[in-house]
Amino acid sequence: MVISHSYKFIFIKSFKTAGTSIDSTLSTFCSGDDIVLPLNDFKHNRNEKGEFIHKAMNAEEFIKLDLPNLQHVNAEIIKQMVVPEVWENYFKFSIVRNPWDRAISYFFWHNRNNPALKPKKKFYHYLGVPLDELSHLKKLFSEYIRNRELPSNEPFYMIDNELCVDQVIRYENLAEDFKSICQNLGLPIAELPHLKGGMRSGGYHYSQFYDDETQEIIARTHQNDIRLFNYAFESQSGNV
């Protein structure tokens, strides 16, 4: 999360939408009384050169809240923490992503250190039988989705079931949408770093991981994303 009094905006970071890349870039424009929540100093929060470009500041009041994930503070809490004039007058924005695609990203992120994602070769694989990595991953993903409810990103841009931000960046149009926001706010145009990437293996299209049941689970738990942003489940060829 970033609250810039300098440029009069609030960026509300959602889950698995390249929010860390935008958060880190915005932090470089902040100073004075601006508020930037801290990131963990992990290698996946560094840019391609290994540089930790994120700059936290003035986050003490939010740290005192002892939230389960300080990087992701929802809109309702931010509204309560800032004075009404800031919430009402600052430009507020967040990020949305196709929920079926985001679910895959969430799965790989949560299992990034799980050796089970890498199927073990059987003797016949060494005889030339190809290893079916996708079937293995699809089975694990199906179990993951059926056994837990994937957190929705709605709390980051909705309050009382209504949109509460001025703009929602589409992950699928990330660079252009961010550039547009920078221009509107008078921010320097900056190229976004690629942070927290490389977790998904195989380069498979998200639709290849789903069956009818898991597809419906995501549709049911992300109805507002689908309704508000016209997302649809698409096959690799682009057909619904």
Boundaries of every domain in the chain: 2-97+153-185, 100-148+200-229
Specify the pTM.
0.87
Q: Look at 114 and 190; give whichever has higher pLDDT.
A: 114
DSSP 3-state of 116: helix
Q: Look at 44 and 175; give whichever has higher pLDDT.
A: 175
Radius of gyration (C-alpha) of the chain in whole angstroms: 19
% of residues, the chain, pLDDT over 70: 84
Return d(Cα 113, Cα 161) in angstroms, integer: 35
Beta-carbon contacts of 141 under 8 Å, excluding residues fewer than 6 positions away, are 104, 107, 209, 214
pLDDT at 82 over 70: yes
Q: What is the pLDDT of residue 77?
A: 97
pLDDT at 19 over 70: yes
Tokens found for residue 41: 């100093």
Query: b vs e for 39-64, b when ≥16 Cβ sit within 10 Å of the residue's Cβ?
Result: beeeeebbbeeeeebbbbbeeeebee
Beta-carbon contacts of 152 under 8 Å, excluding residues fewer than 6 positions away, are 221, 222, 224, 225
Span 27-35, average pLDDT: 94
DSSP classification of residue 57: B
> What does the pLDDT look like over 107-165, one tens digit per residue?
998 888 888 777 666 655 555 556 668 888 999 999 999 998 888 999 999 999 999 99
Average pLDDT of the chain, as a whole number: 87
> What does the pLDDT look like over 147-163, one tens digit per residue?
988 889 999 999 999 99
